[in-house]
Structure formats: structure tokens, C-alpha cells
Amino acid sequence: METETKKIVIVGGGAGGLELATSLGKKLGRKGKAEVTLVDRNHSHLWKPLLHEVATGALDDGVDALSYLAHARNNAFRFQLGTLIDINRDQKFIRLGRIDNEQGEVLVPERNLSYDILVMALGSVSNDFGTAGVKDHCIYLDNPKQAQLFHNKMLNLFLKFSSQPHEEERVNIAIVGGGATGVELSAELHNAVKQLHSYGYQGLDSKALNVTLVEAGERILPALPVRISSSAHQELSNLGVNVLTKTMVTSADANGLHTKDGEFIKADLLVWAAGIKAPDFMKDIAGLETNRINQLVVERTLQTTRDPAIFALGDCANCMQDDGTPVPPRAQAAHQMATLCYHNIMALLNGGTLKSYRYTDRGSLVSLSKYSTVGSLMGNLTKGSMMIEGRLARLAYISLYRMHQVALFGCVKTGLIVLVGSINRIIRPRLKLH
Ligand SMILES: Cc1cc2nc3c(=O)[nH]c(=O)nc-3n(C[C@H](O)[C@H](O)[C@H](O)COP(=O)(O)OP(=O)(O)OC[C@H]3O[C@@H](n4cnc5c(N)ncnc54)[C@H](O)[C@@H]3O)c2cc1C
């Protein structure tokens, strides 16, 4: 393939897509060797594993979000605001949906964007498995808007409670899904209550908060070793979180959750964080092979099985490993896939050999807010899996985000961002209070 004026389009500026656009922009866009375009439905990027912190106010997305336009200019790629709705593989273009203003008036009509190489990196959404009432009554923490919605509802509930605290009443919040999101959110909620109390929310303390974490499986954090899930379970119980395992939710309504055993879990605020899928419109999109959760099936080179000009990475890709299991939908996988995809696109343009992706599990860490961090580290040094807890675990947890920042900004700028973060912790409130 010739390198001149090739059009590379990346859809989705998340954990994987934005890193890829940045490296391709710097390598090819800057020298005019290719036109690199990133498409995202939002104006700004926020690393998804931080969403539970946005939900509780521990993180202010207004401060931490990165503008795509500014980042694109600094790294020699183009940014197009838009939502992918279809792909035309014969004529090699993608279709972007129209953009309306709040009144429903058309700002930008539907349009096409042509490509020579297309990378699908549009992530995943929560999978409610069609459970009755969930769509109408639960919040999914899929994007900053939903995290913000949770934050507003949470503050309203706390405000109402603290204006008229009653001995017997509590604020009831139920979270479905004992994976990392549910566990981390449960702990963050207790921290939020503590902080709000210190800012003057009368009567609001840990006893006033009733968080129920519901998991269908035998234990929370099923993807992690038993020792870690037991440790996290214990920490949550110590905080006062009501952890229910082997509990299947069959439906949700405005007042709470119904379980298979006939129990009712009363809740003022409901969150669904049990399982993921690629968005429904991806099912068989443009005749590409997809699996039962709508992910695009890819070869080890990350090219889709039916079209080598289309790559997929991150949560929306189904990449099988040697042991027959799929690569898990994790930020570290999206990060590694973005690096490999960069090499393979360069190889495709330069007539080189494409490499195969192999997932390297660096371990899993779960942050229980400021109370604790637990997890396992994997690697050559640890010769397998090593359980870590406390400060070391916290450092390892943060390092995953730092790796993402280094991929976007380089080491010097990341150092400055860390410094600004430290200053902000001194001059700004500990919690977003509005
Ligand atoms: C609360 C929470 C905590 C998590 N914690 C961890 C953790 O500790 N460790 C870990 O490894 N993983 C964690 N994860 C999982 C991790 O966030 C994902 O695996 C990772 O973000 C996937 O990266 P991605 O690039 O595939 O997609 P994403 O990062 O989700 O990015 C997808 C992008 O595509 C855009 N997009 C979506 N649809 C369209 C469309 N139709 N058109 C245009 N743009 C579109 C979105 O706006 C978004 O910017 C967590 C997830 C959540 C929700």
C-alpha cells in the first residue's frame, strides 16, 4: 500500500482509540503521510475506569476531561464530532448520525466519511440481559453523562435526607453487579457521605447510608482470585455495605429490585453494573462477523475476520486467546491492543508483516475508595499472581491511569498533570459539591 494521503478513521476516542489516534497522528499526520481522523460522539474524553468517581463526586469531570479538538490539534490528527450509525464496506465510508441541538433542530445533517483503513474502538455498554424494568429504573455507568446523572440524583437524595433526618430512615442505594464497578462504587459512596457530612450535610453519616450490592454469582469480583474477593467482601462489610451473593435480580421498579427468591430490595437509587455488550446496532453491522454480545470478531492481527481493512480493538472486539477464552474487556487490554494496532497499521502501509496480539495480564486492582485497595499483580517478577493490598496496591492501581496519560501526553506533561492534581487536592474541595 502507498502511504500518501491514506485515510485512517478511528471510531471511538476511549482508552484504546484515543491512544491510537495520538500515536498515528504524531507518526503519520504530522508529516502529511496519512490523514488520521478520530470520530467520537462526545466533545471530550474521560478515562472510563474513573466513572464511578465522577458518579460520587470524588472526581470533577469538568477538570479532568480532555478536549478532543485541542488534543487533535496538538497531535496532528483531525477530530469529527459524530455518532457512527453504519458502515458501507463496498464504497469504504462510514455513516454518521445527525447532530441536533436541545430543541431538536438539526445542527449537522447525516453524513459520510470515507476511509482506507477503519478502526472500530467504540467500547461497550452495560448488558441488562433484557431484565424487566432495568432500562427505566436503573442508571448504567456507561458514560460521563450517566455518571453525572447519578451524581445529581445522589446529591438530591442526600440533601433531602439531611434537611429532615429521621432515626429509622436511611438513604437506600442498590447496585447490581459485584464486579469492579459495583465494588468500587459501593466504597466510594461511603467516602462521599463522610465528606458531605464534613461539609455540613446534617445527620448524614455512614449509618444513614444503606448500600446493597447484589451479585448473582457465588462471590463478588468473580474474575479475581478468591483471596482478593474475600478481602474486598470483608472491607465492604466493615464499611456497612450489605453484600448479597447468589442473588439473582429478576426485575426492577421505581421502588427497588425483585429477586428470584421472592425478596424485595428497597432502593431510592438503582445502578446496573452487571455485564457488558457492544452496542446493539453493531449486531452483524455491514455483514461483519459479530458474536452474541455484538462484539466484532477479529483475527489475532486485530483485523475483522471478513474485512482486513477494518480493525477492531478494546471492549467492542472479540479476540480469542490460545486457551479458548476471549481477551477480557479491560482498560489494560484496550491499551495493549492500541499499541499493536499502531504497529499493524504501519506494517500495512509499509508492506511489512503484521503481528499477532497476545494479552498480557498485568494483574487486577480494585480501589475501595480511600479505605483500601486490593488486587493481584501478575508478571515475570512475581512468577504468577501476587496478592497486594494497601499503599502498594494503590500505587499499582494509579499506574494504569498514568500509563494511559503517558501514551496521550508523554512523560513530561504527565508529570505536570500529576503536580496540578496534587495542588488541586489542596485548593479544591475533596468532593464535587454541586
Ligand atoms: C466504572 C468502571 C470502572 C472500570 N475500572 C476498570 C479498571 O479498574 N481496570 C480496567 O482494566 N478496566 C476497567 N474498566 C473497564 C474499562 O473502562 C474498559 O475496558 C475500557 O475503557 C475499554 O476501552 P475502549 O477503548 O474499548 O472503550 P471506551 O474507553 O469505552 O471508549 C469508547 C469510546 O467510543 C465512543 N463511542 C461509543 N459509541 C460511539 C458511536 N456510535 N460513535 C462514535 N463514538 C462512539 C465513546 O464516547 C467513547 O469515547 C472499568 C469500567 C467502568 C465502567
Q: Can you give the pTM of this predicted structure?
A: 0.92
- Whether 9 is in the pocket of ligand 1, judged by its Cβ within 6 Å, is no
Nearest CA to ligand 1 atom 51: 49
- Whether 11 is in the pocket of ligand 1, judged by its Cβ within 6 Å, is yes
Q: What distance in Å separates the CA atoms of residue 307 and residue 95, rounded to the nearest whole number? A: 17
Q: Strand order of the sheet with strand 84-88?
A: 84-88, 93-96, 111-114
- Whether 84 is in the pocket of ligand 1, judged by its Cβ within 6 Å, is yes
The DSSP H or E segment spanning 54 is helix 51-56
Q: Kindly give the pairing relationship between strand 384-389 and strand 372-379.
A: antiparallel
Nearest CA to ligand 1 atom 30: 123
Nearest CA to ligand 1 atom 19: 330
Question: How remote is the CA of residue 316 from the centroid of ligand 1, in Å?
Answer: 9
Pocket test for ligand 1, best of 48, 50, 175, 295 (most atoms within 8 A of CB): 48
- Whether 23 is in the pocket of ligand 1, judged by its Cβ within 6 Å, is no
CA-based torsion, 135, 140, 146, 148: positive or negative? positive
Q: What distance in Å separates the CA atoms of residue 340 and residue 346, rounded to the nearest whole number? A: 10
Question: How remote is the CA of residue 295 from the centroid of ligand 1, in Å?
Answer: 14
- Grid coordinates given for 314: 478494546
- Grid coordinates given for 326: 476471549
35 burial (CB, 10 Å; 0-12 / 13-18 / 19+) is: middle
CA-nearest of 380, 386, 397, 276 to 328 is: 276
Question: How remote is the CA of residue 412 from the centroid of ligand 1, in Å?
Answer: 25
- Whether 16 is in the pocket of ligand 1, judged by its Cβ within 6 Å, is yes
SS3 366: strand
Is residue 375 scored above 90 in pLDDT?
Answer: no
Question: How remote is the CA of residue 153 from the centroid of ligand 1, in Å?
Answer: 23
In 10 A of CB 203, how many CB atoms?
15
Q: What distance in Å separates the CA atoms of residue 342 and residue 348, rounded to the nearest whole number? A: 10
pLDDT per residue as tens digits for the range 302-353: 999 999 999 999 999 999 999 999 999 999 999 999 999 999 999 999 999 9
Q: Report, as an integer, the average pLDDT of 206-216.
A: 92
Q: Taking a C-beta distance cutoff of 8 angstroms, is the pair 14, 48 a contact?
A: yes
Is residue 56 scored above 50 in pLDDT?
Answer: yes
Share of the chain above pLDDT 70, in %: 95
Question: How remote is the CA of residue 160 from the centroid of ligand 1, in Å?
Answer: 33
CA-based torsion, 389, 391, 392, 396: positive or negative? positive
Atom of ligand 1 nearest to the CA of 96: 42
Question: How remote is the CA of residue 14 from the centroid of ligand 1, in Å?
Answer: 6
pLDDT per residue as tens digits for the range 215-250: 999 999 988 888 888 989 999 999 999 999 999 999
Q: Report, as an integer, the average pLDDT of 9-25.
A: 98
- Grid coordinates given for 201: 450535610
- Grid coordinates given for 113: 466519511
- Whether 38 is in the pocket of ligand 1, judged by its Cβ within 6 Å, is no
- Whether 122 is in the pocket of ligand 1, judged by its Cβ within 6 Å, is yes
Q: Report, as an integer, the average pLDDT of 85-99.
A: 97
- Work out the mean pLDDT of the chain and round it to a whole number: 91
- Whether 404 is in the pocket of ligand 1, judged by its Cβ within 6 Å, is no
Question: How remote is the CA of residue 279 from the centroid of ligand 1, in Å?
Answer: 12
Question: How remote is the CA of residue 338 from the centroid of ligand 1, in Å?
Answer: 13
- Whether 314 is in the pocket of ligand 1, judged by its Cβ within 6 Å, is yes
Higher pLDDT, 434 or 306: 306
Atom of ligand 1 nearest to the CA of 147: 1
Is residue 374 scored above 80 in pLDDT?
Answer: no
pLDDT at 3 (0 to 100): 46
Show the beta-strand stretches assigned E in 254-319: 256-259, 264-266, 269-272, 276-277, 296-297, 303-304, 307-312, 317-318
**Which residues on adjacent β-strands are paired with residue 318?**
297
The DSSP H or E segment spanning 228 is helix 226-239
Q: What distance in Å separates the CA atoms of residue 89 and residue 117, rounded to the nearest whole number? A: 11
**Helix (H), strand (E), coil (C) string for 94-141:** EEECCEECCCCCEEECCEEEECCEEEECCCCEECCCCCECHHHHCEEC
Is residue 273 scored above 80 in pLDDT?
Answer: yes
pLDDT at 304 (0 to 100): 98
CA-nearest of 431, 324, 360 to 57 is: 431
Site of grid cell 482470585: 225
The DSSP H or E segment spanning 376 is strand 372-379
Q: What distance in Å separates the CA atoms of residue 292 and residue 155, rounded to the nearest whole number? A: 38
Atom of ligand 1 nearest to the CA of 141: 53
Question: How remote is the CA of residue 278 from the centroid of ligand 1, in Å?
Answer: 11
Atom of ligand 1 nearest to the CA of 17: 25
Burial annotation 385-397 (CB, 10 A radius, 16+ → b, else e): bebbbeeebbebb
Question: How remote is the CA of residue 48 from the centroid of ligand 1, in Å?
Answer: 5
Backbone angles phi, psi at 419, to 5 degrees: -65, -45
Nearest CA to ligand 1 atom 26: 314
Question: How remote is the CA of residue 28 from the centroid of ligand 1, in Å?
Answer: 25
Nearest CA to ligand 1 atom 35: 12
Neighbouring residues of 274: CB distance < 8 A, sequence distance ≥ 6: 126, 127, 128, 129, 176, 177, 179, 182, 215, 216, 249
